[in-house]
Amino acid sequence: VAHQNPNSTGVGSRLHGHSLNVAVVVTGEVDPGPGWVVDFGVIKDAVRPVLAQLDHRFLNEIDDLADPSPSGVAQWVHARLKPVLPGLSSVHVTISGDTGFSPVELDPDPGLNLPSRIRFSCESAQNLPQLAEDHPCRGLHGHTYWIEVAAVDLARLRPLLRDLYEDLDHRWLNDIPDLGPATSEHICAWIWNRLSETIDDLTAVVVQETPTSRCIYRGE
């Protein structure tokens, strides 16, 4: 999702994005027949159309969502699920990321042919107007991006990543000069070109925008 927090005086006031985790809690007595409180299929059927109203959206444009923060989204989801999901106890919404610059060093990944590298996350908005009108990525939305950068000398690379984070975090990626279409592929190449002005031993850049979607760029 993408949003701007009108109550923030810091980076939250800028257009940016998040990948959000939504947890729905249902409580009650165990039904002695099937042996459960509620069928998970019932929960999924109730939750799916509500989350579809949030996915790949600009939260500030959603009707009745006065507070686009995670706590405001939780209240909004709860209000829509309460009439259709018996036993609903609570809804929790969290950001899937570090919400700050917290670089960590990763061990080599032989399966993906990735050497040791440094990973951090950033919260960015984007849209892809070049796509078809019915494509979910055409409209304004956002992600928690997980970025990994590999180089022969990680100690030399590490201090440069803070500046890279500042240029990507809580930003609308479409506004970044020379980035082009804000796909993972273009973000990878932009990061490589940016860092290679100073680092001559880069070996890989990885951009992951969802748990199942990532791009690996090796400067070729």
Q: Which residues are catalytic?
A: 137, 170, 209
Under a CB-based contact definition with an 8 Å cutoff, are residues 49 and 20 in contact?
Answer: no
Strands 117-126 and 141-151: antiparallel
Q: Nearest 5°: CA angle at 65, between 81 and 43?
A: 15
- Name the residue with tokens 């409580």: 27
Residue 105: exposure state from Cβ atoms within 10 A (0-12, 13-18, ≥19) = exposed
Return all residues near 125 (Cβ < 8 A) that are at least 6 apart.
Answer: 2, 15, 16, 17, 140, 141, 142, 171, 172, 173
* Residues, the chain: 220
- Print burial letters for 122-142: b (CB count within 10 Å at least 16), e (below 16): bbbbbbbeeeeeeeebebbbb
Helix (H, G, I), strand (E, B) or coil at 44: helix
Which residue matches tokens 């969290």?
Answer: 94
- Cα distance between residue 173 and residue 196, in whole Å: 20
